Amino acid sequence: MSRLTPSPSSSPQGSPQALPARFGPYLLLHRIARGGMGDVFLAKTGGSMGIEKHCVVKTLQDSFLEDEHYVARFIEEARLVVQLSHRNICQVFDVGRVGHAYYLAMELVLGRDVRSLQMALFERQVPLPEAVALHVAGELLDALDYAHRHCDPTTGQPLHIVHRDVSPQNVLINFEGEVKLIDFGLAERGRALTSDAVSAGEHTVLGKIAYMAPEHARGEVVDARADQFAIGVMLYELLTAERYYTGRSAEQVWTVVGTGRHEPPRLAQLEPTLQAILRRALDPDKRRRFGTCGELRDELLEFARTREAHAGGRTLRQLMNELFAGDLQATRELLQRAARRSPATLTSAPPEGAGGRVIQSFATLADTTLVPDPTEVIPRTALVLAEAPGRRARTLLLASVATAALLSLVLAVAYVALQPAAPPPRAAAPPPPTPTTAPPTPSMAPTDNALSALPPAPKAAATTKPAGAGADARPRRDPPTPAPPPTMTVARKMAALKQCDAGCAPELRRWEGRLGEHPDIMAFKVALDACFRACSDP
């Protein structure tokens, strides 16, 4: 991904307000992204005695407040998420309302997610050191063990928190090499979150299929051992630089994940002790896995000790600063520019529509547009409602805590630099010839490998439509058109498009089967929606 350079913010069409703008206790400095749930801003708070703190503020669209049952369902979730305080969990520290706008404030994490780290290493043909992979897994297991054991502070009763969506996109690494788990919004016990969820019996399947435990994919009520399975999948991918389900399409993954009858090709090539640890964590029968994530962590730490793999954290910090040095510098320049802005002339303003053009970066692509990858069941959307009195006059505190964008976008501030032109999609590149949807099978193959160096995404406005496709096949620029209708999943759209004439066939074939590996999921969404409109419009 090319380095983006900052440019001045400007008000989007239809908004009278520009940034910076005062918003309750926060000064909104820069809009990071606009997603289906709302806007995400770089902000700062404080100012007394010259002491300020940067953070991320996520606002919620009013349309999500209409369903009272939907809102009330997440009252307990809000209490769960705000209570979590661990060095390896990205902290949500404030929720509230300013006027009609509800918001959530969280820790600012400057860095990248694990998937981006994998992609960067693959592009350079550099393997991830074993010590780093073990370090990342150990930090995540420590965070999960803490969350799983967390008790209500007033009653002492265990809360039985389960993450249910542990995946590389939900793990951030900052430039100090610190590992942060995000997106605890799915941490409620087996409840459906949106109408886009895929039901299995009476329960709802949430999260990314490629990292689901078999019992999770079957729609059963899950416990902490489902998170353990996801860590096992992630660790395998970090160690081998290939997908756990490599060589399988999304449809094929669906057929095997619920049974657990899948052995990744390189598992048997791992060191015997490490192989045995992973096999236990990945056992299809959860009763045969480790009792807790803490037990799995201890086994991995002991293995690392025997291998003298003690420098994982230090090596990770060095990798982040070497691979993403340009992003770190761009972030510093942006924060310096924001610090020079004087708030003296600012007036209070609602966040809706405020700020510059939407920033395109890896963290804004997959989730803010509510487009799941092929192994992701639904967009992770949730509402949070709570009450908290105090000087900040926080009432009916409602915000979004489940969407990966909400927390992944904390990470996006590392590249919170505007593209010189809107809309966000990047420059066009000729699509590779793909006569069939079957991906190549060799290890490290570019179309089916998690670390694949895929070609740049096509420019959305120049979608590869054949001659004769109507003008409606071009995506609308401002604002980005949401997928019609909201309850129609990507899988259903793709199935519908297969019945369409040849106008969409080349685009569909080019993306099908490798959607989850491409860093620019937004380009797929734009192309898919354009084709869908062209086929659906009378």
Please give the positions annotated as active site.
165
- The closest of 95, 85, 28 to 383, measured between CA atoms, is 95
Taking residue 287's Cβ as centre, other Cβ atoms within 10 Å add up to: 7
Query: Which residues lie across from 59 on neighbouring strands?
Result: 103
DSSP helix/strand/coil, 505: helix
- The closest of 130, 212, 201 to 166, measured between CA atoms, is 212
Spatial distance between the Cα atoms of 209 and 200, rounded to a whole number of angstroms: 13
Strands 101-106 and 52-60 turn out to be: antiparallel
Residue pair 253/233 in contact by the 8 Å Cβ criterion: no
66 by Cβ neighbours in 10 Å (0-12 / 13-18 / 19+) ranks as exposed
Cα 308 to the chain's mean position, in Å? Answer: 33
Taking residue 528's Cβ as centre, other Cβ atoms within 10 Å add up to: 23
DSSP H or E segment with residue 131: helix 130-149
Query: Which residues lie across from 106 on neighbouring strands?
Result: 56, 92
Assigned token pair, 145? 């063990």
Query: Which residues lie across from 204 on neighbouring strands?
Result: 199
Handedness of CA 502, 507, 510, 511 (dihedral sign): negative
